[in-house]
Amino acid sequence: MADYLPHTKEDLDEMLEFLGMDSLEQLFAHIPAAVRLTQGLDLEPGMSEPDVAEVFARYTSANGAQASHLTCFAGAGAYDHEVPAVVKMLSSRSEFVTAYTPYQPEVAQGVLQAIFEYQTLVSRLSGLPIANASLYDAATALVEALNMASGATGREKMVISAGVHPHWREVVRTFAQGTGHEIVEVPLKDGVTDWASVDASGAAAIVAAYPNYLGVMEDMSAAKQLSLDNDALLVLGADPVAAGVLKTAGQWGADVFVGEGQPFGTPLAFGGPYLGLFACTIEQIRRLPGRIVGETVDSNDRRAFVTTLRAREQDIRREKATSNVCTNQTLMAVTAAIQLGWLGTYGLREVATRCAQGAHFLFDEALKIEGVTAVSSQPFFREFALRLPKNASEVLRQMAGDGVLGGLALSALAGDGDRSIEGSLENVVLVTVTERRTREQIDRYVDVLRRAVR
């Protein structure tokens, strides 16, 4: 018997007596007998923590992809960035970890102020004035952006570049089954969205990624023009690390910015919990999904923070709400605020710059290998796609045997028929380099790749 319950035998007896009952069973007597579980749950009995730790040690030892075994060159929205001890320790403070949603602002100023600072950071990085308190991840943030666009325009058609992460596009298609949105995908040509190939009339949103998921920095003025021509919102999914040095979504004229905030202090964590970044123009504030924190004063005229514009939210507007989001990813938002506090103005720029330097160095070296070519001739930032002379999954398997997670196979990420790549996906691998990768690791990557494609 292992648990965290404080009740002693004497406590139980006294509590039941107080209720005029003889047994705990009596508390459940009003549940119809026909549906009661008579034999209890069909699970093993409880185990002590050390015993459970042994079970989990079996899981962890079977994960060959952990950092101590493999050097990570995989990205696609999940990046191996530095998370220093100070960020790990501050973000794991139990006051942040074990609090609920800040419904009582008098005792939740810690989380509320941290979110206010987070909103400020997201607003600055996106170049848009309004940021919310976080959403689940980038993919679901994009869905919320489309719902916002539909609300703003009264239209259902969404024109989405195939340069948007394949998983995000799939999530958009899933939720469109409920909203009825019409999803029009725009293929890439040489890594760049071929906007002219589709009819965007009647669109609620023009959606692009910057850089796109293949790493290419597209000229966003084409997407902006298309949104203006069709009176649609421009929704940009942007890499928030690249945003440290590239033009912001706001500078490109975006109405909505979404992004994956994992690079700001959250480990790879097998894909979650991550952080959906969301920002927009003031015009869209009444349709903002999720929570937003605002500054105000208390009854003694001291500065205080509180969740505000609550009338948009599901618990008040119910079926007329702009979004059903309640729980978000606050702890990751607080973590992002701490990580960006640690990086500061110049730290973020340096991380972004080093990612670009490492990626370009590896790209140039990899192209020297016979049979390895670039998928796109266009400028990229910190991620790029290579076409290999062999099946990419096979090559990655062989590289993993040499201690290198060499990237992601496009066939696994995007699947057959994806319109982001011209021709077959089979031999294409998506590669990234973060500021944590050394010259030595990159040189080793190239050696291992050379052997694997031979």
Partner 1 sequence: MRAQAQPGGRAASAPILGHEIEPTIFEMSVAGRSAYQLRTTNVPATPLAQLVPSAHLNDDVIALAEVSERDLVAHFTRLSHRQFSVDLGAYPLGSCTMKYNPKFCDAIAADPGLNSVHPGAPAELIQGWLELLVTLEEKLCLITGMSAATLQPAAGAAGELTGLLLMRAFHTANGDARTRVLIPDSAHGTNPASVTLGGYEVTTIPSNDRGLVDLEALKAALGPDVAGIMLTNPNTVGLFEEDITEIASAVHEAGGLLYYDGANLNAILGAVRPGDMGFDIVHMNLHKTFATPHGGGGPGAGPVAVSSRLADFLPGPKATRNEQGSFEWRTPARSIGRVHGWHGNAMVLARALAYIDVHGGDGLTRVAQYAVLNANWLKERLRATLPAAYDRVCMHECVLTATNLKSKYGIRGLDVAKALLEEGFHSPTVYFPLIVDEALMFEPTETESLQTLEALAQAIERIAERAVTDPESLHHAPQSTPVSRVDEARAARHLISTEDAAAR
Tell the smallest beta-carbon distance from residue 51 to partner 1 (Å). Answer: 8
Return all residues near 390 (Cβ < 8 A) that are at least 6 apart: 427, 452, 453
Nearer to partner 1 (CB atom), residue 112 or residue 159: 112
Tell the smallest beta-carbon distance from residue 207 to partner 1 (Å). Answer: 15
φ/ψ (deg, to 5) at 207: -120, 125
Tell the smallest beta-carbon distance from residue 159 to partner 1 (Å). Answer: 19
Amino acid at 446: V
Tell the smallest beta-carbon distance from residue 99 to partner 1 (Å). Answer: 4
Peptide bond into 289 cis (omega under 30): no
Question: Are 134 and 290 in contact, with CB atoms under 8 Å apart?
Answer: yes
Nearer to partner 1 (CB atom), residue 46 or residue 197: 46
DSSP structural state of residue 395: H
Nearer to partner 1 (CB atom), residue 228 or residue 316: 316
Tell the smallest beta-carbon distance from residue 182 to partner 1 (Å). Answer: 13
- Residue 61's Cβ-count burial label (10 Å; 0-12, 13-18, 19+) is exposed
Nearer to partner 1 (CB atom), residue 99 or residue 198: 99
Taking each helix axis from N to C end, the angle separating 439-453 and 330-366, rounded to the nearest 10 degrees, works out to 60
Antiparallel, parallel or unpaired: β 303-307 and 373-374: unpaired
Tell the smallest beta-carbon distance from residue 368 to partner 1 (Å). Answer: 15
Nearer to partner 1 (CB atom), residue 184 or residue 304: 304
d(CA 276, CA 135): 4
d(CA 74, CA 405): 7
For Cα atoms 245, 246, 250, give the angle at the middle one, nearest 5 degrees: 120
Q: Tokens 């421009």, residue?
A: 234
Antiparallel, parallel or unpaired: β 408-409 and 130-131: unpaired
Nearer to partner 1 (CB atom), residue 52 or residue 196: 52
Nearer to partner 1 (CB atom), residue 137 or residue 230: 137
Tell the smallest beta-carbon distance from residue 161 to partner 1 (Å). Answer: 17
Which secondary structure element, helix H or strand E, spans residue 56, and what is its range? helix 49-61
Token digits for 315?
A: 């618990």
Tell the smallest beta-carbon distance from residue 231 to partner 1 (Å). Answer: 24
DSSP structural state of residue 421: S
